[in-house]
Amino acid sequence: MLQTVQWAADACRLLDQTKLPTETTYLDVADEHAMWDAIRRLVVRGAPAIGVAAAFGVYLGVRGFTGDLLEFYDRLNTVCDYLATSRPTAVNLFWAIDRQRRTARDAGRDLPAGAADDHAVAVIKARLLATAKHMLDEDTAACRKLGAHGLDLLTPLADPADGVIRLLTHCNAGGLATVQYGTALAPVYVGVERGHRFHVYADETRPLLQGSRITAFELKANGVDTTVICDNMAATVMAQKKVAGVIVGTDRVAANGDVANKIGTLGVAVLARHYGIPFYVAAPTSSIDMSLATGDQIPIEERPAVEVTHGLGKQTAPDGVGVFNPAFDVTPAELVTAIITERGVVRPPYGEGLRRVVG
Ligand code: MRU
Q: What is the pLDDT of residue 312?
A: 82
Q: What is the pLDDT of residue 311?
A: 87
Same domain membership, residue 243 and residue 221: yes
Across-strand partners of 253?
259, 288
**Does ligand 1 come within 6 angstroms of the Cβ of 49?**
no
Domain boundary among 142, 162, 186: 142
Q: Which atom of ligand 1 is nearest to the CA of 301?
A: 1
Mark whether 251 is an active-site residue.
yes
| Residue to probe by mutation, ligand 1, list 172, 263, 279, most atoms within 8 Å of CB | 172
Spacing, Cα 111 to ligand 1 middle (Å): 39
Q: Which atom of ligand 1 is nearest to the CA of 261?
A: 8
Spacing, Cα 343 to ligand 1 middle (Å): 21
Contact in structure between 342 and 284 (CB atoms under 8 Å): yes
**Does ligand 1 come within 6 angstroms of the Cβ of 139?**
no
Per-residue pLDDT of the chain in tens (359 residues, 90 and over written 9):
899 999 998 999 999 999 999 999 999 999 999 999 999 999 999 999 999 999 999 999 999 999 999 999 999 999 999 999 999 999 999 999 999 999 999 999 999 888 999 999 999 999 999 999 999 999 999 999 999 999 999 999 999 999 999 999 999 999 999 999 999 999 999 999 999 999 999 999 999 999 999 999 999 999 999 999 999 999 999 999 999 999 999 999 999 999 999 999 999 999 999 999 999 999 999 999 999 999 999 999 999 999 999 988 899 999 999 999 999 999 999 999 999 999 999 999 999 999 999 98
**Does ligand 1 come within 6 angstroms of the Cβ of 92?**
no
**Cβ within 8 Å of residue 107, ≥6 positions away:** 123, 124, 127, 128
Same domain membership, residue 244 and residue 179: yes
Distance separating alpha carbons of residues 79 and 314, to the nearest angstrom = 37
Spacing, Cα 49 to ligand 1 middle (Å): 9
Across-strand partners of 166?
199
Same domain membership, residue 152 and residue 137: no
Q: What is the pLDDT of residue 313?
A: 83
**Does ligand 1 come within 6 angstroms of the Cβ of 48?**
yes
Instruction: Indicate which CATH number applies to the domain containing 164.
Output: 3.40.50.10470
pTM of the model: 0.97
Distance separating alpha carbons of residues 132 and 339, to the nearest angstrom = 26
Residue 304, judged by CB atoms within 10 A of its CB (0-12, 13-18, 19+), counts as exposed
Domain boundary among 125, 142, 159: 142
Q: How far is CA 247 from the centre of its chain?
A: 14
Domain boundary among 92, 127, 142: 142
Catalytic residue selected from 251, 258, 289, 329: 251
Instruction: Indicate which CATH number applies to the domain containing 97.
Output: 1.20.120.420
Q: What is the pLDDT of residue 82?
A: 98
Q: What is the pLDDT of residue 215?
A: 98
With CA atoms as reference, report the closest residue to 252 among 292, 279, 220. Answer: 292
Same domain membership, residue 127 and residue 159: no
Same domain membership, residue 253 and residue 106: no
**Does ligand 1 come within 6 angstroms of the Cβ of 249?**
yes
Residue ranges making up the domain that contains 91: 5-142
Contact in structure between 55 and 12 (CB atoms under 8 Å): no
- The continuous run of DSSP H or E covering 82 comes out as helix 69-83
Q: Of all residues in the chain, what percent are helix, strand and coil, respectively (each to 5)?
A: 45, 20, 35
Same domain membership, residue 116 and residue 196: no
Instruction: Tell whether the torsion through CA atoms of 87, 92, 94 and 97 is positive or negative.
Output: negative
What is the count of structural domains for the chain? 2
Q: What is the pLDDT of residue 148?
A: 98
Same domain membership, residue 235 and residue 160: yes
Same domain membership, residue 214 and residue 123: no
Spacing, Cα 124 to ligand 1 middle (Å): 31
Same domain membership, residue 193 and residue 88: no
Spacing, Cα 262 to ligand 1 middle (Å): 6
Same domain membership, residue 317 and residue 253: yes
**Does ligand 1 come within 6 angstroms of the Cβ of 171?**
yes
Same domain membership, residue 80 and residue 10: yes
Q: What is the pLDDT of residue 16?
A: 98
Spacing, Cα 325 to ligand 1 middle (Å): 15
Q: What is the pLDDT of residue 1?
A: 82
| Residue to probe by mutation, ligand 1, list 18, 231, 250, most atoms within 8 Å of CB | 250
Same domain membership, residue 279 and residue 162: yes
